[in-house]
Amino acid sequence: MQIVSAGVSDVGRVRSNNEDSFRILEPMNLYILSDGMGGEAHGEVASSLAVETIAAYCSEPNKQDPDATLVGLSTDNVSGHTKRLRDAVEQANLKIYQSAQKNPEQRGMGATATAAWLDGTKLSIAHVGDSRAYLLRTGSLQQLTNDHSLVAEQVRRGILTPQQAEESEMQSVLLRALGANAEVAVDVEEVELMARDVLLLCSDGLTRMVTEPEIAGTLQAAPDPATAAQKLVDLANERGGMDNVTVIVARLQEESKGWLSWLRRDTAQKV
């Protein structure tokens, strides 16, 4: 199995600065996206701190932080990658909270976090906030994360319809985010992936501007992840670009069975 990935981040058509951050660690098949909040309270600082903390924590699995306070649901039945990713997001929350406590100008800053880590064909996801992870399989787009927002919770409880939620002025109100408190509950999920699956991580700057059928169609029409990511960002901006928009696309494909692959195997056997 081969994995091809790419990411694009854009300030949009309305905002003056980009509070989104993302990282792709290709050797580890680790993908991290964060949407900062706080405006003058340095939302871009929060998102950058979230992404860098998660990346560093997962890159050094034997390093333990004595100040870490790990909370949330039990992960006894999930893989080591999933546990590590959950711990990394919790550590990012603590770093943002501590930074805001030490720096008065950062009070009120926060961030979402959606991280995906692929181990073989098993995908681990850790998530806080309303940035999303999607899986495109055989033309069907499935949302892998639940939004931790007020309107999403009202939809789940039947208070609002999905259509009413899309028109609500309360879409930006989050019930859970990194940095608001010293502890945060992190949602985790595991998914078994297949060849030709496409993984999408995105900030709400995409999902508020572009419908899910349009997202699915764009991913299908553009097999190259870099092209797909750019087209999705462009589409969000064409619709108004009301927020920063960040997209990560990763496509799983079977290893080439062509003559070059055969030549490499034959050479290796002779050696």
Q: How confident is the model at residue 258 (pLDDT cuts 50, 70, 90)?
A: low
Q: Which amino acid is at 85?
A: L
User: Does residue 96 contact residue 50 with C-beta atoms inside 8 Å?
Assistant: yes
Least confident of 8-12, 56-60, 253-257, 259-263: 259-263
Of 212, 200, 190, the C-alpha closest to 249 is 200
Rounded to whole angstroms, the Cα distance separating 225 from 21 reads: 18
pLDDT tens readout for residues 131-174: 999 999 999 999 999 999 898 889 888 998 888 888 887 888 89
Rounded to whole angstroms, the Cα distance separating 91 from 85 reads: 10
Q: How confident is the model at residue 61 (pLDDT cuts 50, 70, 90)?
A: low
pLDDT tens readout for residues 222-242: 999 999 999 999 999 999 999
The 3-state DSSP class for residue 36 equals: strand
* pLDDT for res 265: 41
Q: Which amino acid is at 33?
A: L
CATH superfamily entry for domain 2-270? PPM-type phosphatase domain (3.60.40.10)
